[in-house]
Structure 1
Amino acid sequence: MHASTKDRADLYRMVMDKHICPFGLKSLHLLKSKGYDVHDHWLTTRAETEAFKREHDVDTTPQTFINGRRIGGHDALRKHLGKPVKDPDAVTYTPVLAVFITAALMAMAASWATQGSPLSVRAVEWFIAFSMCILAIQKLRDLESFATMFLGYDLAARRWVPYAYMYPFGEALAGILMIGHLAPWLSIPVALLIGSIGAVSVFYAVYVQKRELKCACVGGNSNVPLGFVSLTENLLMVAMAVWMAIA
């Protein structure tokens, strides 16, 4: 939806010395990109902001008015302009895709620099090891949330709760060691152990019990569904451990 040359938009947003509303900036950019004649009204104090909200009987800012009619906040504006609005509860594979694509590009770049080609055996090894490290970082960002979600389906963690807290450290350790082919006597059994238990746990929860759960693979606050992705993560660890043991 694009505005005609006569369409006027009045945007009221917080612009203070120590706070500039990010959704106000998004709304401003969206209105300008759609060709509206934007009148940008700054709410420069908390008192001014609260007075505005009372006057218009709204709970939040920014607020957009188009040709005198209130549209609402940033999400309402996106809907009015035919833009999608993210559902915070919707399942998504985006976090996992971001991890795997980034890890693959990192592995190819490292291979190119050291092997003279982006496609090599080392590139595949680095892809798996980099993925393990990045996924471990995601879990360690909020270890408590990860452990809580992980306990919902991991068989070993259910028997011994501390395992849920140890898992991401083991994944990170194995990944780091595998990047440099260091201490295979340690990295191989760690990756084999946690990868095998994880694969069995996911398979049992999803394909045997038919449970619909969220995956803790990218941390405890994700909306990634438990299933193929988590199974792949664990099977890659097992494959890497087996490969390093026979290579």
Structure 2
Amino acid sequence: MKKKHASLYRMVTPNHLCPWGIKAIDLLRRHGYAPEDHHLTSMEANSAYKKEHGYDETPQIWIEGERIGGYDDLRKFLHLPPDPKEGTTYQPVIAVFSVAFGLAMTTCWAQLGTLAPLRVLELFIAFSMAILGILKLQDLSSFATGFVQYDLLARRYVPYSSIYPFIEAGAGIFMIAGLFTWIVAPLALLVSTLGAISIIKAVYIEKRDLHCACVGGGSSVPLGFVSLSENLFMIAMALWMIAKKL
């Protein structure tokens, strides 16, 4: 079967390779088009091309001689949903919890030679906390910017937004081995309770539309049930650790 013709103008320089151009070519090929690939080999050439034709962006795509527009326009033409880069998404949270659950099961098996449900749950929560702590710590400033928008304590004492990720990650690490329980568990209980109250107030009482800083700053995860569940899991884990020591 003869492939339909398409052409594309995209920026390809020694220092920059347009990612949307690459994605556009991939979409065209997967939908049965034979793209004719035209490279704009410098910033100046890219700017001149856009200025000459009155375009705001590259890549620019044509199909059978008809101009489609940029990458997002191509997705619309192909009847595809918006690119995952747009809008809210739970993908980061799903990724964290999936990996944490896999780590919990394999670690439990390595320790006990069986998948003890209670131990798997303990490890799952601990690994989740550690991973979420890492995501926050990779850019403390961005996390703090998002966190202070809804956390009650952070809004009154901003440095707490930089302390919280260390508490979360440290609690997860020490929970795995059951170390320093009388320090770790109360701290985890305190911050998770404050977090749960803050989310309930911001989302369910004040009805604010916010993004959750749980996976780090600048995330597109909506603040709501998933974020509240994270704190509730931490509360349950902290109470369980305290109960085990009594």
Quote the residue 1:63 is aligned against.
Answer: 60
Structure 1 residue matching 2:61: 3-state secondary structure: strand
Quote the residue 2:160 is aligned against.
Answer: 163
Q: How far apart are 1:128 and its partner, in Å?
A: 0.2
Structure 2: how far apart are the matches of 1:29 and 1:244? 50
Cα deviation digits, residues 95-130 of structure 1 (max 9, x gap): 212211221111112122222234432211110011
CA shift in 2, pair 1:20/1:158, >3 Å: closer
Structure 2: how far apart are the matches of 1:32 and 1:78? 13
Structure 1 gaps of 5+ residues are none
Name the aligned partner's letter for residue 55 of structure 1.
E
Structure 2 gaps of 5+ residues are none
Quote the residue 1:83 is aligned against.
Answer: 80
Structure 2: how far apart are the matches of 1:185 and 1:200? 23
Superposition TM-score, scaled by structure 1 size = 0.89
Structure 2: how far apart are the matches of 1:30 and 1:88? 16
Q: How far apart are 1:6 and its partner, in Å?
A: 6.2
How many residues are treated as equivalent by the alignment? 244
Structure 1: how far apart are the matches of 2:178 and 2:242? 11
Quote the residue 2:143 is aligned against.
Answer: 146
Say which of 151, 158, 173 aligns to 2:170: 173
* Alignment map for 1:145-224 (pairs within 5 Å): 145-224=142-221
Would the aligned equivalents of 2:144 and 2:162 in 1 still touch at CA under 8 Å? yes
Say which of 27, 33, 39 aligns to 2:30: 33
Cα deviation digits, residues 68-113 of structure 1 (max 9, x gap): 2211111111111111113766332222122112211111121222
Structure 2: how far apart are the matches of 1:226 and 1:207? 10
- Does residue 8 (structure 1) correspond to residue 5 (structure 2)? The answer is yes
Name the aligned partner's letter for residue 110 of structure 1.
T
Name the aligned partner's letter for residue 137 of structure 1.
I
Would the aligned equivalents of 1:214 and 1:225 in 2 still touch at CA under 8 Å? yes
Structure 1 moving runs of 4+ over 4 Å: none
* Alignment map for 1:224-239 (pairs within 5 Å): 224-239=221-236
* Alignment map for 1:96-135 (pairs within 5 Å): 96-135=93-132
CA shift in 2, pair 1:215/1:182, >3 Å: same
Structure 1: how far apart are the matches of 2:234 and 2:101? 15
Quote the residue 1:49 is aligned against.
Answer: 46
Cα deviation digits, residues 184-235 of structure 1 (max 9, x gap): 1221121111112112222233333343333222223123222222221111
Would the aligned equivalents of 2:212 and 2:227 in 1 still touch at CA under 8 Å? yes
Would the aligned equivalents of 1:198 and 1:234 in 2 still touch at CA under 8 Å? yes
CA shift in 2, pair 1:48/1:220, >3 Å: closer
Name the aligned partner's letter for residue 25 of structure 2.
L
Name the aligned partner's letter for residue 85 of structure 1.
P
